[in-house]
Amino acid sequence: MDRTPQHRSHDGDVDIEGIARTAEDRHVPVLLDMTVDLLTPALQHPGAVYVDATLGMGGHAAAVLTSAPQARLVGIDRDPLALDLARERLTRAGLAERITLVHATYDEIPEVLAELDLPGADAVMMDLGVSSFQIDTAERGFSYAADAPLDMRMDTSSDGPTAADLLRDLPEAEISRILHEYGDERFARRIARRIVEQREQAPLTRSSELVALLDGAVPAASKASGGHPAKRSFQALRIAVNDELRILAKALEGALDSVLQDGRIVVESYHSGEDRLVKTAFSRRTRSSAPPGLPVELEEHRPTFAPLVRGAAQADEAERDLNPRAGSVRLRALTRTRSVERAS
C-alpha cells in the first residue's frame, strides 16, 4: 500500500489549485445535509475520528468537519489527483490541521487506521461510484461526451488494465456478462458481438470509437426512450476496470468492523449491484444471530448495529432537478449498538 500521500507530486504543468476551484464549483455533494445530520452526532467529542473512505473532492468531508469541530479526518482515495484536489479544498477552508489523507482503496480502512495507531472510527462515509471531477476530466475516459483514450482507471498510477485492454482481450461472453451485470444493458450480447467483430479489424482505443459502435448496436427505439446509448456500457466498463464490486464487498465488512461503539456509517450507492451489496452487509449486522426457536436471545446473539434510516433514503425531487447525479442515489446508514471483542 502507498502510504506516502501527504505530498504527492504531479507534472509541473498541472494547476491543482485551478482544477480544484473549477471542480469545486461544479461538484455538488449528494444528500449533503442528510449525511452531515447522520454523521456528526457521533463526532461531538475531542479526538473523534471521521473516515471518508471515498474522499473525492472533499465536499462531504468539509461539511462534516465544519459541523464537528472536535473531529479529525482520515481521508482515503485511490485517485492521487483526488487527494491533491481535496487537500487544496480543505486547506482553503482552514481545515488543514485536522486532516490526514491516504492513498489507498476503501477496502483498506482497517489497515489505514492501524498504521495511524487509531483503534477505530467514530464515523465512516462511503460515497460510491465515479466522482464529478473524474467525469469532467476528459482525458481519463470516463465520459461518453468527450473523446479520450479508453482508460477509466481511478488510479492511473496503477498498472491494472484499462477499458481498452478489456475490450481487446476479453472473450465475447465475458464482455457480454460485464455489460449485463454491471450496466443492466439489455443489448449486452449484441454489443459484445459488435466489439469482437470490430477488434478483428482494429481494437477500440478511444471513447468516441466506442460511442459510435454503441450508437450503431443499440436499436433506435431504445435510444429514444432509454437515455444515451453509451451510458450503461461506460458504467459497466468503469466498474469492471476498477474491480469496484469485489472491493466494495470487502470494504463494507472492514468499515463495519472499524466503527466504534455508538459510531455511525453512511453509504451512498448509485448502481443496483452496489446497493444490493450494501443492503446485504447491513442486514447481517442488524439482525439477531440467535438460532431459530431459542427461547431467550443471549447477549452474543443481539445485533451489533441498528438502522438510522428506514430502508434506503433517496434524494427529493428538488435535489434531483438541481443535481442529476442524485437521481439514482440510495443512502443507507447504521449506528453501532453493541461492541464485539476483536480477535488479537
CA distances from 153 to 117, 170, 239 (A): 30, 17, 9
Q: What's 125's DSSP letter?
A: E
Q: What's 157's DSSP letter?
A: T
Q: Is 127 annotated as a binding residue?
A: yes
CA distances from 254 to 106, 250, 314 (A): 9, 6, 25
Q: Is 59 annotated as a binding residue?
A: yes
Nearest to 76 by CA among 161, 182, 154, 141: 154
Give residues with Cβ within 8 angstroms of 179, minimum separation 6: 185, 188, 191, 192, 232, 233, 236, 237
Neighbours of 259 (CB within 10 A): 25
CA distances from 106 to 51, 120, 143, 294 (A): 10, 14, 23, 38
Q: Is 13 annotated as a binding residue?
A: no
Q: Is 314 annotated as a binding residue?
A: no
Query: Cell numbers at residue 39, please?
Result: 454523521
Q: Is 70 annotated as a binding residue?
A: no
Answer for the pair 303, 337: CB distance below 8 angstroms, yes or no.
yes
Whole-number Å distance between alpha carbons of 197 and 180: 19
Q: Is 60 annotated as a binding residue?
A: yes
Whole-number Å distance between alpha carbons of 337 and 301: 12
Sign of the torsion formed by the C-alpha atoms of 7, 11, 13 and 18 = negative
Strands 330-336 and 305-307: antiparallel
| Distance from the Cα of residue 90 to its chain's centroid | 20
Burial class (CB in 10 A: 0-12, 13-18, 19+), 321: exposed
Helix (H, G, I), strand (E, B), or coil: what is residue 6? coil
Q: Is 316 annotated as a binding residue?
A: no
Locus of grid cell 473549477 = 22
Binding residues: 58-60, 77, 106, 127, 134
Binding residues for S-adenosyl-L-methionine: 58-60, 77, 106, 127, 134
